Amino acid sequence: MGGQPHVVLQPDEGVAWYELDIREHKGGLLLQLWASVEAVMPELCPEQTAEGIFWPGAAEPMTHARANALLAGEPVYLDDRFLQKYEQNAFYDSTPVRVWEHWYCSPSYRGQWSFTDCRRVGRNLIKVPMRELYKPKPYREILHARSFAVDPADIAHVDLNEEHVVAKVQRLLDTLLRLGTGLSELGDTVGLNKTALELTGFDHAEIAANGWMAYPVLGRLAQVAPLDMTQQAFLARCKSVHEVWQRVPNGYLKSLLEQAGCPRPEIRALGSLKLLQALLNVVETLNEQEEARDAFPSDQEPDGWKRRNEAMAPLFLNNDLRTADAHETIGQCLVTLRSLGFDTANVNDGYGRALDFVMDGVIDTLNEIASAIDKLLERGKYCRLWRES
């Protein structure tokens, strides 16, 4: 055959085209066949819809019309890991907000859409009315929420009053504000002029007016803390806890202790934990002797200011966990946790309970320091009022 004819054949259904190439080859004919099949069409797949999907415990599918008609607000419970998508992406706002005595975590996207009325209940649950879930927002967000919905039958076995991580962070913040005010007033007695804001980094007026908006560090600390938290996530959160409370300048604490009579050469090399422990020892001794605030400044070395104070153990533990970076270090921290009363068998299922224990311990210790200072300052206030009367 002279030439190389091509023959285009009529395609079958589902095949774009056939092409047949006929060539001479070693005294015979060589037939080559090509075909094109349309496997994927260029059109976008239709977006999955939230219309007509079933929610756990529901007898019939939910639609926008049905959800909108639920004026009473049929509740849906979500595992709070629903929030992780929004907490870990700066494009979303998921800052917790307290309204009266309830905490709300309602993610939003740049003013374009928002979840509403997402209230924290129990340790790891979000309660939201079905009607609010179906308010205008992309279908993918409703479907995302659906993937974390909890069967109502399982809610019966959950303590809905258990404290969640956001409430713990607020307790920590409240304690720090008290401590900052007490340290500031204690400094006034010896001529040290520092405000609570300068000492703790938190402004009481700002928080009262705008919540946590000016302090993203609080939002990061209050991110979802599942019970099955990994060891690395636990250690990272312990580091965040330390960074939030450990803001009081060491120089200020050293000045307080020096004014209280502690030898300057001995306090010069102390870190923040040892300084706080020394201050607590001094103040507790004054309280035991029912002294007033004017007894705090002294030119005599106070008795027992260097002693080990067991109340400080959670802060030392938190510091150890903050710097833990080896298996041996973790093992020692678990021993310390056990010595403080924590059942370390719980970590086999995750470190969520360990985080609760550490945060509660830190809050209790800081509260004890703040209360001791308040007690000393209050006694001095009553003595001054009695003298003036």
Beta strands (DSSP E) in 10-112 are 15-25, 28-37, 75-79, 92-93, 97-99, 102-104, 108-109
pLDDT of residue 143: 96
Give yes or no: residues 265 and 350 share one domain.
Answer: yes
**Residue 389 pLDDT exceeds 60:** no
Is residue 1 situated within a structural domain?
Answer: no
pLDDT of residue 48: 81
pLDDT of residue 354: 95
Give yes or no: residues 185 and 82 share one domain.
Answer: no
Q: Residue 212 has which token pair?
A: 């946590």
Over residues 231-253, the pLDDT tens digits come to: 999 999 999 999 999 999 999 99
Is residue 240 situated within a structural domain?
Answer: yes
- At 39, the pLDDT band (50, 70, 90 cuts) reads low
This prediction has a pTM of 0.85
Question: Looking at residues 326-347, what average pLDDT do you find?
Answer: 84
Over residues 281-319, the pLDDT tens digits come to: 999 999 999 999 999 999 999 999 999 999 999 999 999
Give yes or no: residues 187 and 71 share one domain.
Answer: no
Give yes or no: residues 73 and 220 share one domain.
Answer: no
Give yes or no: residues 354 and 210 share one domain.
Answer: yes
Please give the tally of structural domains in the chain: 3
Q: From 125, 155, 185, give the residue that closes a domain.
A: 155
- At 74, the pLDDT band (50, 70, 90 cuts) reads confident
pLDDT of residue 386: 45
Q: How many CB atoms lie within 10 A of CB 30?
A: 11
Give yes or no: residues 381 and 271 share one domain.
Answer: yes
pLDDT of residue 33: 59
Is residue 70 situated within a structural domain?
Answer: yes
Q: How many CA atoms lie within 13 A of 218 on its CB side?
A: 21
- 69 vs 25: which has the higher pLDDT: 69
Residues 139 and 151 sit within 8 Å (Cβ to Cβ): no
φ, ψ of residue 7 in degrees (nearest 5): -120, 120
Q: From 129, 155, 181, give the residue that closes a domain.
A: 155
**Residue 256 pLDDT exceeds 60:** yes
**Residue 46 pLDDT exceeds 80:** no
Question: Looking at residues 9-34, what average pLDDT do you find?
Answer: 60
Give yes or no: residues 183 and 71 share one domain.
Answer: no
pLDDT of residue 32: 63
Give yes or no: residues 341 and 272 share one domain.
Answer: yes
pLDDT of residue 346: 86
Give yes or no: residues 15 and 94 share one domain.
Answer: no
Question: Looking at residues 134-154, what average pLDDT do you find?
Answer: 95
Residue type, 304: G
**Residue 65 pLDDT exceeds 50:** yes
**Residue 7 pLDDT exceeds 60:** no
Task: Please provide the average confidence, as pLDDT, over all residues in the chain.
Answer: 88
Query: Which range of residues forms the domain containing residue 239?
Result: 165-388
Is residue 277 situated within a structural domain?
Answer: yes
Question: Looking at residues 197-221, what average pLDDT do you find?
Answer: 95
Give yes or no: residues 170 and 129 share one domain.
Answer: no
pLDDT of residue 71: 73
Residues 70 and 134 sit within 8 Å (Cβ to Cβ): no
Is residue 57 situated within a structural domain?
Answer: no
Residues 18 and 31 sit within 8 Å (Cβ to Cβ): no
Q: From 116, 135, 155, give the residue that closes a domain.
A: 155
Give yes or no: residues 148 and 182 share one domain.
Answer: no
pLDDT of residue 228: 96
Residues 108 and 115 sit within 8 Å (Cβ to Cβ): yes
